[in-house]
Amino acid sequence: MMYRNVPKTNWRVSELSFGCMRFKDEDTAIEVIRKAIESGVNYFDVAPLYGNGTAEVYLGKGIRGLRDKVIVTAKSSPGNGGEDVGEYNPETGFGIRTADQARRQIERSMKILGVDHLDMYQFWALHGDSIFEDGIKRGGFMDGVLKAKDEGLFDYIGMTTHSHSADIIRYIKDSPYEFDMVTLPFNLIHPERTEAIAYCAERGIGVVAMNPLAGGQLAKSVPIYQKIASNAGCDSMIEAALRFIIGQPGATVALNGITYIDHVLQGTAAIEKGTLEMDTQARLLSELGELYSTISPDRLCSQCRYCGKCPEGILIPEVLEIYTNLQLPAFAEDARQHLGAMIKLDPEGYDPAACTACRQCEEKCPNKLPVSEMMAAAAELWRMA
């Protein structure tokens, strides 16, 4: 495993880090966490909401007896997962709006994780101005976090966000605490936040690039990806995507959502091959840009599932994934077949025409996707597919 220094901390962080959003079940999770630690992965990112509250429990069990080998972070937010400020909900980690609630939330995560000290606590889902302003108000979220840090509950404070570069930079500048790490989405299909990454690098803030495989989109096994990856001297698109991230100037680590041991092995093997040359990175970006030229990058679902349950029973991320792929010539035929099979299996879940445009999913979507518009467009595509 390769490691990076994070200037504002005394950490050596593994270039492949472990996102705990996609665990399968307890046994698999514990096995995978232990395999990752054995392979040198030392940075773990978890949230109360992940796995409907199971991820913190599984991570706690996975690191038991190995605490000195890992950097463990936890997080919560005044937001609701999307752009707005949320209602107090300790189970999900959202709507944490007072210093007292923040303190209880930090202690709650520590207890579930089974640790008496966290390495970092994060201002999670900082996706908009109302969340930021609520978070830094007197007696609010950050006051509680700063007090807990002063009392030694953790060493550093981070921020996670899906905002655009200009907003991320403003939040860093206006925050009452200079964040030590910033976690933001960055990948070959969404390579837009280079300005924020460069700004963090300038200030010695570590950058955790989340969503390196674009919500699994880059993990698909399709011939066109194989061809593009080969052109870049890589064995797979997963390898190309991870090596691209760690080659981005200013990016510290690639935070990959891991489910199976195979993901650990593939990820560590890719990272060990090192960064890609700049001209190779540029070629990859250009080839992927061309491949995805038929869709707007602002309409790509990252499969994060923050939108929660649709009252009409529509499986939002699943439908949006097929919607995306139907618009991409290289993926359209597979998507048509997949759609046919899924409609037979679960006609309600795969029926975008049932969307009433209530927009409750849009309020929670960190990527600010116009889901109801996309559902209407998907219904149209379904008719033609």
Q: How far apart are CA 63 and CA 295, in angstroms?
A: 41
Question: One symbol per residue from 135 to 164: x for binding ligand SF4 (CB under 6 A), - otherwise; what is it?
Answer: ------------------------------
Q: How far apart are CA 244 and CA 189, in angstroms?
A: 11
Segments in the chain forming alpha helices (H): 26-38, 55-63, 99-113, 129-136, 141-150, 165-174, 194-203, 223-231, 237-247, 261-272, 278-291, 316-326, 329-345, 360-364, 371-384
Please say which residue, 72 or 371, places its beta carbon nearer to ligand SF4: 371
Please say which residue, 263 or 364, places its beta carbon nearer to ligand SF4: 364
Q: Considering the complex, what minimum distance in angstroms separates the CB of residue 361 from ligand SF4?
A: 3
Question: One symbol per residue from 227 to 266: x for binding ligand SF4 (CB under 6 A), - otherwise; what is it?
Answer: ----------------------------------------
Q: In the window 316-335, what residues touch ligand SF4 (CB under 6 A)?
A: 316-317, 320
Q: Considering the complex, what minimum distance in angstroms separates the CB of residue 369 from ligand SF4?
A: 5
Q: Which of 305, 322, 351, 378 binds ligand SF4 (CB under 6 A)?
A: 305
- Residue whose C-alpha is closest to residue 184's, from 105, 250, 130: 250
Please say which residue, 284 or 301, places its beta carbon nearer to ligand SF4: 301
Q: Considering the complex, what minimum distance in angstroms separates the CB of residue 21 from ligand SF4?
A: 11
Q: Considering the complex, what minimum distance in angstroms separates the CB of residue 41 from ligand SF4?
A: 25
- Residue whose C-alpha is closest to residue 119's, from 166, 186, 177, 74: 74
Q: How far apart are CA 373 and CA 175, in angstroms?
A: 35
Please say which residue, 116 or 373, places its beta carbon nearer to ligand SF4: 373
Cβ–Cβ under 8 Å, residues 20 and 71: no
Question: One symbol per residue from 87 to 126: x for binding ligand SF4 (CB under 6 A), - otherwise; what is it?
Answer: ----------------------------------------
Q: Which of 312, 318, 334, 363 binds ligand SF4 (CB under 6 A)?
A: 312
Q: How far apart are CA 353 and CA 183, in angstroms?
A: 35
Please say which residue, 217 or 280, places its beta carbon nearer to ligand SF4: 217
Q: Considering the complex, what minimum distance in angstroms separates the CB of residue 253 from ligand SF4?
A: 22
Q: Taking the CA of residue 2 as centre, how many other CA atoms within 13 Å lie in the half-sphere pointing to its CB?
A: 19
Place of tokens 């390579």: 191
Question: One symbol per residue from 345 to 374: x for binding ligand SF4 (CB under 6 A), - otherwise; what is it?
Answer: ----------xxxxxxx--xx-x-x-xx--
Q: Considering the complex, what minimum distance in angstroms separates the CB of residue 82 from ligand SF4?
A: 7
Q: Which three-class secondary structure state does DSSP give residue 217?
A: helix
Q: How far apart are CA 337 and CA 113, in angstroms?
A: 42
Total residues binding ligand SF4 (CB under 6 A): 28
Please say which residue, 196 or 214, places its beta carbon nearer to ligand SF4: 214
Compute CA distances 54 → 109, 250, 303, 306, whole Å: 11, 33, 18, 15
- Residue whose C-alpha is closest to residue 102's, from 117, 125, 122, 129: 122
Max Cα-Cα span within the chain = 61
Question: One symbol per residue from 265 to 304: x for binding ligand SF4 (CB under 6 A), - otherwise; what is it?
Answer: ------------------------------------xxxx
Using CB under 6 A as the criterion, which residues of the chain lie in contact with ligand SF4 when the complex forms? 301-307, 310-312, 314, 316-317, 320, 355-361, 364-365, 367, 369, 371-372, 375
